[in-house]
Amino acid sequence: MPVVQINQNGETSFRRFKQGESLQSVLAEQSLIHSPCGGKGTCGKCQVNVVGKGEVLACTFYPKTHVVVNLASNRKSQILSQNSSSIISSSPNKEVTHSHQEYGLAIDIGTTSVVFYWVNLRSGNIDQVRGVENPQVSYGADVITRINKCSDAKVLKTLQKLMVNLIGDELERFIINDLSLKKMSVSANACMLHILAGVNPMPMAFAPFVAPFTEAKSIKAKELGLQLKSEVFVELLPSASAFVGADIVSGITSLNPPANIRNYLFIDIGTNGEMAVITPKDIVACATAAGPAFEGANIKFGMGAFEGAISEYAANTYMTIANKPAIGICGSGLLDVLAFLLRENHLSSDGLLSDDYVLVPESKAGVDTAICITPQDIREVQLAKSAIRTGINILLKEAALNYADLDSVYLAGGFGNYMKPESAIAIGLIPHDDKVPIVPVGNTSGAGAVMHVVDPVFTDKLQLTLNRMKTIDLSTHPDFELEFAMNMYF
């Protein structure tokens, strides 16, 4: 059987492959490559160097004999782990003595990142936090692509194994001496929960978009393949529907707003924008397919929040993550760029950009070309922005509220935490009212997982949230098409 030789970070590894297997599928199983489009050949992000062939797209390259692949060095990413709510007493990365301690492990599995919270059950504090990339991104940046990949039972098993191995590595890294792990709680969207449980999520991809399960699940760690001395259960938190997952249910439940905040909007913007309007009586929630534009996919120079990504932009000035030379642009920077282009009249309200706009000339970039925004990039942002704004408008209608009736807007997740609210308002992603504060609340999904570990009654609180929650299917809502069309304008 032929072999792929993989050179990266000064190390060499080998991977056998079968005839007819793409290089992308070979590298994906080892989480060695990013392929936001899931191997469709549309995003161009899986470009690698094959000795003797030059730069190729891994998803369209089918090796027939031994090949040598040179991969770029691993990049450090900026992953949000903190929570801005006043509900958790945390001491991330604190030096601790593990011996004779009892711990709970709270896990937030996002589509693109995974955060582990080690909770000291005696003190109630978070003693250590670690955020890493979700290794499943090799199979697509968004949940729909990943769900479709699961039509192949082998891929579903591979995706599950990638996550189980990641959790297993974290357990081996932290558990030493006489540390006792008592509980593991997982908050995630419904797709991630299904993959971890080894349940095929395919029914979620087709009308009527029903998840095989939404209820909480308790699975023996050993049944997942996690090797622990004691019997520990992995607790999967409950979802509300196929696309309003446990990350949103637990995130809302974890919030502790001041008494004067009665009506508020909760938004978690990612590849699958999820949001809810909360009133003293009811919770109305929905999910909208925003696509992965805000996470870098389908944008020519788009990338995740890695070193070298433009994260802030203004006229002739920009900042990159870790102050590295610019190699691309992440979601927060993308919003700033569009807000700038609109202010300077380079971009019209209907989304017309006459030509590529150069952000960083080649002479200053960390890659061998100028970094720019293209007219097609604008189109991708328009679609994502319209999807989010349409969801907000329809939820407000369902709750019989105007935007001005809200006491606050809470932005959850990494993108919501790092973006500038004024840029989001400028492009029409979020409505504008000076009397409605926009407050980043950090990783509320992670907060929910932590609360599930430490609070014995948090399960009851989750059920109370679910009892109040009504989910809206935007695709069948009578106002959806008109709202979506109108919200395409900046």
352 has pLDDT over 80: yes
At residue 357 the predicted structure's pLDDT band, cuts being 50, 70 and 90, is very high
Domains and CATH numbers, the chain: 3-70 (3.10.20.30), 102-247 (3.30.420.480), 301-373 (no CATH)
pLDDT tens-place string over residues 14-26: 778 787 888 887 7
Contact present, 242 and 204 (Cβ < 8 Å): yes
Q: Establish how many alpha carbons lie within 13 A of residue 42's alpha carbon, considering only the half-sphere containing its beta carbon.
A: 12
At residue 99 the predicted structure's pLDDT band, cuts being 50, 70 and 90, is very low
pLDDT at 305: 80
Average pLDDT score over residue span 434-460: 94
pLDDT tens-place string over residues 238-247: 999 999 999 9
Which helix (DSSP H) or strand (DSSP E) does residue 129 occupy?
A: strand 126-133
pLDDT tens-place string over residues 227-280: 887 889 999 999 999 999 999 999 999 999 999 999 999 999 876 789 999 999
- Which of the pair, 156 or 322, is modelled with greater confidence? 156
Could you tell me what percent of the chain has a pLDDT over 70? 91
pLDDT tens-place string over residues 285-309: 999 877 677 877 789 999 888 889 9
pLDDT tens-place string over residues 155-198: 999 999 999 999 999 998 887 554 689 999 999 999 999 999 99
Average pLDDT score over residue span 48-58: 80
- Which of the pair, 384 or 4, is modelled with greater confidence? 384
At residue 95 the predicted structure's pLDDT band, cuts being 50, 70 and 90, is very low
- Picking from 414, 458, 423, 406, the residue whose alpha carbon sits closest to that of residue 342 is 423
Q: Is 434 exposed, middle or buried (0-12, 13-18, 19+ CB in 10 A)?
A: exposed
pLDDT at 312: 95
Question: Tokens standing for 349?
Answer: 């309200």
pLDDT at 294: 82
At residue 38 the predicted structure's pLDDT band, cuts being 50, 70 and 90, is low
- Picking from 353, 351, 350, 359, the residue whose alpha carbon sits closest to that of residue 317 is 359
pLDDT tens-place string over residues 452-477: 999 999 999 999 999 999 999 998 99
30 has pLDDT over 80: no
Q: Residue 305 contacts by C-beta under 8 Å, 6 or more apart in sequence?
A: 77, 78, 79, 311, 321, 330, 331, 332, 414, 418
pLDDT at 122: 85
Question: How many degrees, rounded to 5, is the angle at CA 104 between CA 189 and CA 82?
Answer: 60
In the predicted model, what is the mean pLDDT of the chain?
Answer: 88
pLDDT tens-place string over residues 394-421: 999 999 999 999 999 999 987 877 889 9
pLDDT at 140: 84
- Which of the pair, 356 or 59, is modelled with greater confidence? 356
Q: Residue 311 contacts by C-beta under 8 Å, 6 or more apart in sequence?
A: 78, 305, 319, 320, 321, 330, 332, 333, 418
pLDDT tens-place string over residues 112-138: 889 999 999 988 889 899 989 899 988
Average pLDDT score over residue span 430-440: 94
Does the N-terminal peptide bond of residue 478 adopt cis geometry, omega within 30 degrees of 0? no
pLDDT at 49: 81
pLDDT at 92: 39
- Which of the pair, 73 or 243, is modelled with greater confidence? 243
- Which of the pair, 430 or 31, is modelled with greater confidence? 430
Region of residue 264 (left: phi > 0; alpha: psi -120 to 50; beta: else) = beta
